Structure 1
Amino acid sequence: MMHIIAGATFLFIGWRFGDWKNWKKYYPTILFFIIGDLLYNVLTYNNPTWSYNKDRLFPNHTLINIWIMITIYPATALTYLSHFPKEKVKQLPYILLWTIIYIFGELLGLHVFGLINHFNGWNMWWSALFDIILFTMLPIHHKRPLVAWGLSIIVIIFFLTVFNVNISGLK
């Protein structure tokens, strides 16, 4: 049930504060966000660093993740990007604010509601680093998609290497 509440909360925030009138402008970056998560799920299928716990409504990680992809990610991108500061001096605090929001949500999911588990050395410090990268990458993708894809390949290789993910075992 908490997954539904989280998704609905983000949808409300996205509806209230996101730039829905111009959703087409953000659509490629929303897809970039979703594809990144899909890629994580494929590459780490046999060696996950974290996963969602089932509940009464969602019987497995995959269905929960799809729910998050269609609710939280679009709402996040529409809200985050539509308010991203143009002034360089304000960008880092904005990135850190959203990182804190995501970390707070993960801490609630991990320690309060039992919605998520960490594995294979992943912890909240890695989540914080990943969220900083994520919230840095979204505006880059929005303005310069090919640069973001190139940087993402480097980030993927970094995380696969650090967490010793064996991709040769994939189907």
Structure 2
Amino acid sequence: MFHAVVIVGGIVLSVGMGKWQRWKEYLPTFYYWALFSCFYEYISYIGNKQLWEFDKNFISLFVTETLYTFVFYPSIIILFLGNFPEKTTGRLWYYVKWISLSVIIEAIALNLGAIKFAHGWSMGWEVFFYATMYPMLRLHYKKPIIALALSVLFVLFYLLIFDYHLI
């Protein structure tokens, strides 16, 4: 039930406050997000090591992951990028708000048993992940090639830190 509430809540907020008239501008960033989300799932499956996994799924794990990847996060990307401050002075606070909200939602999910962490993943890693994810989404929107290159480095970093043996 938790995941259904989060997904529907994200959609409702995005419809109410997002800049849907600009969705085509954000489409490459949707694809960027989906690519790396699916890549994580693939690596987790091949490496038989999931750092986090949804529990108490909405219908099934496949449906929950699919709804998050292809419905919830595109809605959140529209909300995040569509309301991104034009003035440099408000940007840090904007990032802090988004990172904090995401971490709070993850903490609630963890406490309710809607997500579980494994293999050394923790709330500290969640903070780091969101603190890099939101700037990377913005960077991808503005300079996609640089964001893709940096994302590959982040993937390699996570593979090394969490001791994935894929080769």
Give yes or no for TM over 0.5.
yes
Tell me the residue number matched to 1:51: 53
Matched residues, number: 165
State TM-score, norm by structure 2. 0.94
Q: Would the aligned equivalents of 2:52 and 2:117 in 1 still touch at CA under 8 Å?
A: yes
- CA deviation after TM superposition for structure 1 residue 114, in Å: 1.0
1:39-79, Cα deviation, whole Å (9 max, x unpaired): 11111221110000144x4232x321111112220111001
Letter of the structure 2 residue corresponding to residue 148 of structure 1: A
- 1:75 equivalenced with 2:71 (yes/no): no
Matched residues in 2 for 1:138 and 1:107: separation?
22
Pairwise mapping of residues 16-55 of structure 1 onto structure 2 (< 5 A)? 16-45=16-45, 46-55=48-57
Moved over 4 A (4+): none
Counterpart amino acid of 2:88?
K
Distance 1:18 1:48 in 2: 32
Aligned partner of 2:106 in structure 1 is 106
- Compute the displacement of 1:5 (Å): 1.4
Map of 2:141 onto structure 1: 142
Amino acid at match of 1:106: E
For residues 72 and 8 of structure 2, what CA distance do their matches in structure 1 show? 8
The aligned amino acid for 1:79 is L
Deviation at 1:88, TM superposition (A): 2.4
RMSD (CA atoms): 1.2
1:86 to partner: Cα distance: 2.3
Do the aligned partners of 1:54 and 1:64 also contact (CA within 8 Å) in 2? no
SS of 2:148's partner is helix
SS in 1 for 2:53: strand
Letter in 2 for 1:50: W
Q: Are the counterparts in 2 of residues 44 and 167 from structure 1 also a CA contact under 8 Å?
A: no
Q: Which residue of 2 aligns with 1:119?
A: 118
What's 2:152 paired with? 153
Measured in 2, the distance between the counterparts of 1:105 and 1:39 equals 23
Unaligned runs of 5+ in 2: none
- Could you list the runs of 5+ residues in structure 1 that have no partner in the other structure? none
Secondary structure at 1:39 match in 2 = helix
Residues 98-149 of structure 1, C-alpha deviations (whole Å, 9 max, x = no match)? 01111011011110x2110000000000000000100010110001110100
